Every structure is written in structure tokens, then in C-alpha cells.
Structure 1
Amino acid sequence: MADRGDILIGIDAGTSVIKAVAFDLTGRQLASSAVLNRYDEGEDGSATQPMLRTWTDCAEALRGLGDKIENLAARTLALAVTGQGDGTWLVGAGDEPVANAWLWLDARSAPTVRKLAAGDNERARFEATGTGLNTCQQGSQLAHIAAHHPELLARAEAALHCKDWLYLNLTGVRATDPSEACFTFGNFRTRAYDDTVIAALGLEDYRHLLPEIVDGTKTTQSLTAAAASQTGLLEGTPVSLGYVDMAMTGLGAGVHTGDPAAAASTVGSTGVHMRAVTPDEVVLNAEGTGYVIALPAPDMVTQVQTNMAATLNIDWWLDVAADIAGEFGTSPKRSDLVGHIDGWLSRSDPGAILYHPYISAGERGPFVNPDARAGFIGLSSGHRFADLMRAVVEGLGMAARDCYAAMGAMPGELRLTGGAARSKAFRGIISAAVGAPVRICRREETGAAGAAMMAAVAQGVYGSMDDCVAEWVTPLLEIPEKPDQALTETYVALYPSYKLTREALIPVWDGMAKDRPRNRRVDASATPLDTTMTDEQKDETR
């Protein structure tokens, strides 16, 4: 490009919302444009998305950004793309979709996952990838497709992820990034595909479907003429392939700022808990759960545990309150009740009731059990609504502690994003639960910012990712809020009972699961993970 632009664009393709966000070269957000990106569910556990529609939605978001910023095309120095992780986006001849994409929500591969998890090579696969096997992942899904729908793989030429598919449409290049490539098919230490992992998945015959691995801070491709026509940007604009959205969100939220004791949690519909470490510092738990995800920084990865439902538990309890009120002629909305949460918390005693926050049916971190269910323990006749509200919120704090315990020592500082972070009372509870000060990140669009930061480094705006973090992230972290010492001691004493009871409940959950087909009404809420999320929440967490 003849003139150096002054804008970087980050694309964040969430499960149901695609956002295009413009930043100046110092990281200040200028404008954003969002387009709803629908997905379809089936009774067989399928969750799919038309690939062509996802691309056209992305192009529409970019055009919408152009409507908000004058002369955007000429001012754009570069763009980068991240998106929802896991899933399987197959392309064939002429880069055409083979079928609708299988999303990370798709549960059809569950039987294959159980079979693979019992295999002799499962532990070796886990120790290479650092990532627990589950139905979300492309490896599991490809193994299931190979066994049950081989005709799809016969027509496929490449197996991509969401962001890879958008990158292909932007640049005409089939590629993936080190994060998704390695937590699914590779080794987080080498950032390369691993033969042991591929063999453990039974996918030796399909290795040719795995695309080249590229690092978007070092390698860019040019926007094609066709993509320029559809997006309103200029042909030849450099495009970086970002890392998976969890890594980009963590980067934008402050998971890696040079403080080895810091960690980052996003508490939205899902709770995502991560810490930045070197590969040698990774702690692989005995249960074989979690993720190890490469960061776009030399010799740095994020270790991640995700509890399946976070604020969904609060939403459920508020809906119970609204239902009761409705019986008496009033109809408060959930949003009307949110403002009362801090007051309810102030009128209740800490640690009086245990609550396990598995309300979305099942859990995936730090243990994997699709039959896990939420529940209160320790109720007495003196407890009232406010006490149960506190128990629900404290359950999220205990879940965060549970996740960090599976990754080693508790963090020395917690950077907090997501809807729950807006509540001072919630911040106090999660701070005490993990025993660390919390800091809020003022960044609005952390995922898109993380992607744009990769473009900034690729274009030489910054000499390194650490230099970029110092200007884009660190100044946006609020003053640390220290945990209350008495509350911390309460939760330190409470956590062993939380863990002991969730382990003891396994046979109870197993027994209830056997009867569940005869009790459809109870299981009606057991929809796949994000079906009750708002679009904003989905974008925060995926």
C-alpha cells in the first residue's frame, strides 16, 4: 500500500455474533459493527452453521464498519481475524464447503469420544496437546465423521476452523494457526503437528486434510480482489490469521503482561479461567482436562480450564424469582432483578450453603461429566431467597478456585472480564474465593483487540507482542481490589467441602441420568451449552 494506514481492524467471529472492530495504532477503539450469525440445532445433538452464510455475515460486518468510519478502506493498515474455537469446517474442490460446519456445540461425536478416551494412547495424546478430549474438538469430530460419514471426508480437501474459513475467504489461502492446530493435533511445546496425537485419534489416513500452520504476527496474506469487492476494503490490504478466540480474549484482557503470577477470568455465560506460563510450567492434571493454548508471544502458552456454566446459574435463579412474582400478578424482567443482586448478597451470611453451578447440564472443567447437575447443600429452615442467591454466586467463586487448583497454585492477581465483573459484590466474592486481588480490564472488545494486536506486530507498529501489550493492555487495567481477609478465610475453609461433595455426587448423577429419559420435563433445560446465552455473552466467551 502506498500510504501507511492509521487503523487496524480486528474481526471476532463468535458463535452467534460476528464483530468487526476498528482501533487506532495505539489501541484506542474507534468503532465496531456487529452482525448476528445464526446456527441450527437438531434433536440428534447437532449444532451446525452454513459456512457461506458465516462468510457473508463477516463481509457485512466489515461493510458496516465502513459506514461508521469515513474513508476506512484507505485508512486500514491491516486486519486480523479470530473466531469461535473447535468445530469442523470442511472445504473441498474450489474452496467450496463440503457441508455445513459442525460447531463446538455439536455433541454427535460423544460415542466416539468415549471410545477414544478408553484407548491406550489417550494419555500420550493429552500430554502432547495438554488438552482434554471432548466433543467440541475437531479431532473428535473428524474421527466420528470418518466412522459414520466417510463420504464427507472423501470430498474434503482441508479441515478448517471458523477463523481459518474466514481467512480463506479473505486471502484465498488455506491455513490454521499454532493455537488450534496444537491443542487438537499437535504438541504445545513444538507448535507443530504430532504423529502420536494423530494416531491416537485414528486419523492417520486424513492427515492430508490438516492445513499449513502460520503465525499471524510473522506471516500475512493480501486481501483478494473478490474479498475487497465484498467487504469494501482495498485489494492488497494485509491480513493476519489470529489465534483462537480464547487466546485473543485472554491477550486483550491482560493474561500476559509480564507478571507470571497474574491470571485472567472471563465470567460470562461460561467461566473461562486462564493463566500464561511457559511450556515447562504447564501442570497437566491426572483427570486429563483443560486446554493448553499457544499465545502469539515467544515460548508462552495459556493453560485454560472452563466451567461450563457461570452467569447462566444467576440467570436461572433470577428467572425463578420472576416466575414466583408472576404468580402474584407482577412480571419483572431478569434485567429488573439484576440490580438487586448486590443488596441480596449484603443481607446473607458467607459460606452458609454450598451450590455446585452445573445448571446447564454437565461440566467440563476441571472435570468432565455430562451428567453433572446443579444443587444446593446445607439448607435449613432459616434460609431465604437472599441466602440462596449468595450460594449461587459463591458457587461461581468455588468453580473458579476449582479450575485454578487444577492448574497449580492460585493466581497472585486476577484480571476479570465478562458481565459479572460489573458487580462490586461479585468481584469481592471471586477475589476471596481465589485469594487474590482482582483488576477489571476496561477494554470493550478484548477478542477483536487481541487479533488486531497481532496485526500491529506483523506490520511493525510494535517490535514485539510485549511492546504492544504494554500500550494496548496494561494501561486499561484498573487498580487492584484486594480480597477481604475474613471472607478469604471462609472460602479457604469451604472449598474442601465443595470439592468433596461434587466428587461424592457422581454416583447420584449417574443414577439420575439412567432415569432421565422418563423425565423429559426435568431435562428440558439441558440444552447445549450456549443456547440460552445472549449474543453479547456468547461473543464474550467464545
Structure 2
Amino acid sequence: MTPYLLGLDSGLTVTKAVVFRDDGAVVALARREVAQIKTVPRHVERDMAGHWQASAAAIREALELASASVGSEVRPAAVSVAGHGDGLYLLDRAGAPLGLAATSLDSRAQALLRRWDETGVSARALELTGQRPFPSSPAPLLAHLREEEPERYDQIAAILSCKDWLRYCLTGKVATDFTEASVAFSDIRTQRYSDEALALFGLGAIAGALPPVFMPGDVAGHITEDVAQLTGLAIGTPVAAGLHDVTACAVGSGVTEAGTIAVIAGTYSINEMLVDTTKTSIGWNARNGLRAGQWMNMSVSPASSANLDWFVQTSARDALANGDPFATLQAELDAVAGDPSDIIYLPYLYGSPHAEDVPAAFVGLRGWHGRGHMLRAVAEGIVFNHRHHIDLIDPHGAVGRVRLTGGSSRNPFFGQLFADALNRRVEVPEMPEAGALGAAIAAGIAAGVYNGWEEACLRTRPQLRIYEPGDAVARLGAGYGRYCDAIDTIMQRRDEKAVP
């Protein structure tokens, strides 16, 4: 009998439930949107109960579609969840949501972070935990809550992430996994929770609210009777601990060991690399990998494909009519292929890796440039920002292979652009649901369908589209130089203005 696995992948706006065969083939998929709440400046939140209801509905629909597809009832051997990283999902002492959840786009703690930068807290955090705190990290969010909402802070009984909240809903058990446990409070060297880290942030009093840690492929609970009635899952189905979503994407694209850079071109520019030795750098977050003695060096910024969505919505609405705007716009890109302009685009509409107040900008725009030139500049700016991050985690170009996922990866223009701009071989898996597959692989390990990550990736290995560096390497290398010069000029002028 074919084993089926269910991966639940919950991002910033959509939750997807995907039923897979054990060879990684998608049997059925259902999705539900989850609303963001932005009623308070710098707060980007969601209703936790509504999030669970949407996820449960997606699971039920996916199972119904899967059963209809195969002609008999589909009962997954196990379930697992991947969810957006960071943010804050809190439970009170009754096990109920403690207010709205903060997502990874929340920036309410920005002022507190500036104090930490000035007082040396951030520098010490980098040494101890492998990462410098950033606005949506649990540490500053909790410290902000302690200062601004002390009564709510005193009621905290469990500190969860997005995927940990959903797993709690599935099982009634509070837990986290090895990858997620390292987002703020773990010692980078021991890969375990650190009392020193909690004390550094002034959070020692809530150490007991940190959830127990399981390895990603461990069973962290089972489907309860109420959940079975709500979702259609069988009572007692094992639920794996699961994965932070960007690690799940790496796993789902076949990256479980060192030697490949995993790139996700989505809302965020995510660039990550598994390593077997650890060191700290301001250029990346060093988090736990899939096993003890393995780390994930991750360099990110909110500056990737969302810029394309903005450009289409503001400057190419006519291209939306046929449902695939880039099929229309590709002709405009082709028309300027032999006319390489010097336009540079800084893709910082929603934030940058350099400083909070560095804006997006077109540099070098002239009256004879058209929409095709501008679109190409936006695309190149996105890829140049990925290159900035990749140069941080692999400064000597020692890793020559990139595994690319995310919405942009499905367009051959972008696959080749990444290969040329990074001057590396780019491999694009023919697997659009890499995050859900990564979660499903963890479920398969928990259920004994696979005996480990290596076997799981061999059995679920997707077909790859390969892009090798081509004729545009030199042109894009020069363009990246201009891109870096533009950033240096902006940062220099910013620093000059800051001097009294």
C-alpha cells in the first residue's frame, strides 16, 4: 500500500496543506488565506484561532481531494508542519492564545533594538547565540512586551512559533523542534537553550515558558479526537516536530548536507547553507541544522520577489489581464536584450540588509528608457541583493551550486539571471511546494517511512532544471559593481548626515 504523508506549510499570508506520496509526488493541495492585522503602526499580527481554523479547513479539503484523486480514502501515515520563522505566538496558563500573534513582518521592537545596539546587548547576542537580534525575533518582541504590556507578559505560559502553534492545535502538546529552538535563546556552541542568553535579554523569569525541544523527525504528539473530527485525519496519527519553513524549503529541494547553497526568492531574500563547523558573523544568522553538529548559516532581507509584484501592480497593470503577466512582459524584456542600459534598481521597498532607512530607488534612469529596461533593472536588483547575501555566507565562492526555489524560480528568465549574476550553476527543482515537502519528509521520518534525511531525499528527489553561467556574466558583474557603488554612496551620505 502506498504511504501518504501530509505537510502543512503556513507562511505569512497563506496556509497550504499538501498530501504527498512517499516518492514526493503531490496528490492534492488545498490553501487558505490568513489575514494580516495592521491596525497599530509597526504591528503585523494575526488572529491565532482564525489561523488554526483556516489551517484545519485546508487539511480537510486536501484529504478530500486526495481521496477523490486516488479513488479511496487517503489516511496519511504522519503529519508535520512548517511555518514562517520568528514572530511570537503565546499561550496563557489555560493553554489559550494570549492575544494576537506577531508575525515575522512585525517591527514594533525597533526602538528597543537601537538601545540594545548602543549598550552592547546585540553584539554579545551575536557571540553567544550566533545571531544579532532583529525586530521580529522573539527576544526583542518579548522584551518589548515586558516593557509595554507587563500584565500580558506575566500571563505567558508557552512561547511558540507559527508552526509550533499549529502543531499544538493538532496534538494538544507544547513543543518545538531543534531548528526553531535556535532562533533566539540557544548557545550556538552547545545548540541548547542558554540561561545566559535569557538573562542577556532580561527574560530569565520566563525560562519555563520555552517549549521542550524535539529533533525535526521525532514524534512530538498525535492527532486528538477533536482534531480528527474537524480535519478528517485519523485519531492517533503521529505528528512530527517539523521544521522552520526556510529549512523545510531546503530539505524539500533536496538540500540536507553541506555543499549546496539554498536560495528562496520569495517575499524575503533567503540564502542559506548547511555547515558542519560553526562561527559567528554579522553577515548571517547561525542556527541549528537538521542534527547535532550541523548549523544553518542564513542571510536574509525582505528584498526579493515582492518588488516584482509591486512593479507589475504599479507600472504594468495591463499585463495582468491574461493571468500570467510575465508571459506578456517577457516580450518587452526580449526587446531590450541587445540594449544593456546602466540602470540600477535597489530593491528595498520593504527593507534592506544595510540599514532600516535605506529606500528603494532607480539609479541612472533616462528619458529613452522604457518599461522593459525598468523591469530588467528590477529583476537584476533582486538577484544582486541575493548575491550580496551569498557573498556573505560564501565569500570565496567555494560552493559552486545553488538550489533555487520560490515564485521567481519557475520563470526561465530568472533561472538564467541567477546563474549569470551569481556565476554559479543554478538548479531549480520541479517541485513548487518545497516547504510542504520538507515538512512531509519530517513526517515520513517520524512514521518510519524513511530511515533518515538522506534516504528521504533520494526517494523524493525532484527533477532539476539546470542553468549554467553564460554570456551575461561579465555584464552582470559590472552591473553588480555599480549596484554596490550606489549602496556605498547612499550609506556614506546617510552617515554624514548623522554626524552633528
Map of 2:391 onto structure 1: 405
**Contact kept? 2:92, 2:158, Cα under 8 Å:** yes
Aligned CA distance change for structure 1 residues 508 and 48 (closer, same or farther; 3 Å) = same
Alignment of 1:182-197 (within 5 A): 182-197=182-197
| Counterpart residue identity of residue 487, structure 1 | A
Which residue of structure 1 aligns with residue 484 of structure 2? 499
Matched with 2:3 is 6
**Structure 2: how far apart are the matches of 1:249 and 1:332?**
28
Task: Choose which of 327, 349, 374 in structure 2 pairs with 1:388.
Answer: 374
Residue 356 of structure 1: how far off its partner (Å): 1.2
Q: How far did residue 169 of structure 1 move?
A: 1.6
Say whether the 8 Å CA contact 2:47–2:100 is kept in structure 1: yes
- Hey, what's the Cα distance between the residues in 2 that align with 1:466 and 1:177? 19
Match of 2:472 among 472, 481, 487: 487
What is the aligned counterpart of 1:296 among 282, 285, 290? 290
463-472 or 422-431, which moves further after superposition? 422-431
CA distance in 1, matches of 2:288, 2:265: 21
Aligned-pair CA distance for 1:50: 1.5
CA contact (8 A) 2:341 2:373 kept: no
TM-score norm. by structure 1 comes to 0.84
Secondary structure of the structure 2 residue equivalent to 1:186: coil
Which residue in 1 is equivalent to 2:13? 16
CA 1:88–1:73: 2 relative to 1, 3 Å: farther
Alignment partners' CA distance in 2, 1:179 and 1:127: 18
Answer with 156-165 or 376-385: which moved more.
376-385
Contact 2:46 2:103 survives alignment (8 Å): yes
Distance in 2, Cα, partners of 1:58 & 1:426:
31
Distance 1:497 1:446 in 2: 34
Q: How far 1:117 sits from its partner (Å)?
A: 2.3
Q: Determine if contact 2:9/2:435 at 8 Å carries over to the other structure.
A: yes
The one-letter amino acid of 1:35's match is: R
Deviations 1:99-149 (A, max 9, x none): 111222222111111112223242231133322311111111001001111
2:63 is matched with which residue?
66
> Contact between 2:108 and 2:135, CA under 8 Å: does it hold in 1?
yes
**Count of residues paired in the alignment:** 491
Change (3 A) 1:380 1:76: closer
Residue from 32, 41, 44 that aligns with 2:41: 44
Q: CA RMSD in A?
A: 2.5
Kindly indicate whether residue 463 of structure 2 is the aligned counterpart of residue 476 of structure 1. Answer: yes
Of 337-346 and 128-137, deviating more is: 337-346
Between the aligned partners of 1:458 and 1:151, the Cα distance in structure 2 is 39
Match of 1:376 among 340, 356, 362: 362
Match of 2:262 among 255, 261, 264: 264
Q: CA deviation at 1:159?
A: 1.1
List aligned pairs for 1:42-441, cutoff 5 A. Answer: 42-70=39-67, 75-256=75-256, 258=257, 260-280=258-278, 282=279, 284-285=280-281, 288-297=282-291, 299-322=293-316, 333=321, 335=323, 337-346=325-334, 347-348=336-337, 349-350=339-340, 352-360=342-350, 362-363=351-352, 365=353, 367=354, 369-409=355-395, 410=397, 411-441=399-429
Shift of residue 441 of structure 1?
A: 0.7
Q: Distance in 2 between matches of 1:502 and 1:463?
A: 48
- The residue identity in structure 1 corresponding to 2:243 is Y
1:456 alignment partner AA: G
Say which of 27, 31, 35 aligns to 2:28. Answer: 31
Aligned residue number for residue 449 of structure 1: 437
Deviation, structure 1 residue 8? 0.9
Q: Give 2:117's aligned amino acid.
A: A
Residue pair 1:10, 1:81 contacting (<8 A) in 2 also: yes
Please give the per-residue CA displacement for 1:150-203, whole angstroms capped at 9, x wherever unaligned.
111211211111111111121121111122221211134422112332222121
Please give the alpha-carbon distance, in whole angstroms, between the structure 2 residues aligned to 1:237 and 1:149: 39
- Report the Cα distance in structure 1 between the residues aligned to 2:98 and 2:301, rounded to whole angstroms: 33
Q: Distance in 1 between matches of 2:245 and 2:487?
A: 30
Deviates more, 1:418-427 or 1:458-467: 418-427
- Unpaired runs of at least 5, structure 2: none
Task: Kindly state the Cα deviation for residue 426 of structure 1 after the two structures are TM-superposed.
Answer: 2.1
Q: Which amino acid aligns with 1:250?
A: A
Letter in 1 for 2:3: D
Q: Which residue of 2 aligns with 1:525?
A: none
What is the DSSP-based 3-state SS (H/G/I as helix, E as strand, rest coil) of the residue aligned with 2:179? Answer: helix
* DSSP-derived class of the 1:55 partner: helix
Letter in 2 for 1:24: R
Query: Quick check: 291-300 or 50-59, which moved more?
Result: 291-300
* TM-fit CA distance, 1:351: 6.2
Percent identical pairs in the alignment equals: 27
Residue 216 of structure 1: how far off its partner (Å): 3.2
Name the CA shift for 1:332/1:181 in 2 (closer, same or farther; >3 Å).
closer
Deviations 1:379-420 (A, max 9, x none): 445433322222221112211110111112334111122222
Contact 1:247-1:294 within 8 A present in 2 as well: no
CA drift of 1:220 comes to 3.3
Distance 1:219 1:6 in 2: 17
Structure 1 gap segments, 5+ residues each: 324-329, 514-542
Q: 2-side partners of 1:232 and 1:295: how far apart?
A: 32
CA-CA distance at 1:293 after TM superposition: 3.2
TM-score w.r.t. length of structure 2:
0.91
Which AA in structure 1 matches 2:192?
A: A
Match of 2:183, SS state, is helix
Code of the aligned partner of 2:51: T
Name the SS of the counterpart of 2:274 in structure 1.
Answer: strand
How far has the Cα of 1:228 moved from its partner?
A: 1.7
Which amino acid counterpart does residue 396 of structure 1 have in structure 2? I
| 1:104–1:46 CA distance, 2 compared to 1 (3 A) | same
Distance of 1:509 and 1:189 partners within structure 2: 36
> What secondary structure does 1:95 align onto?
coil
Q: 1:19 corresponds to which letter in structure 2?
A: K
- Does the 8 A contact of 2:319 with 2:329 survive in 1? no
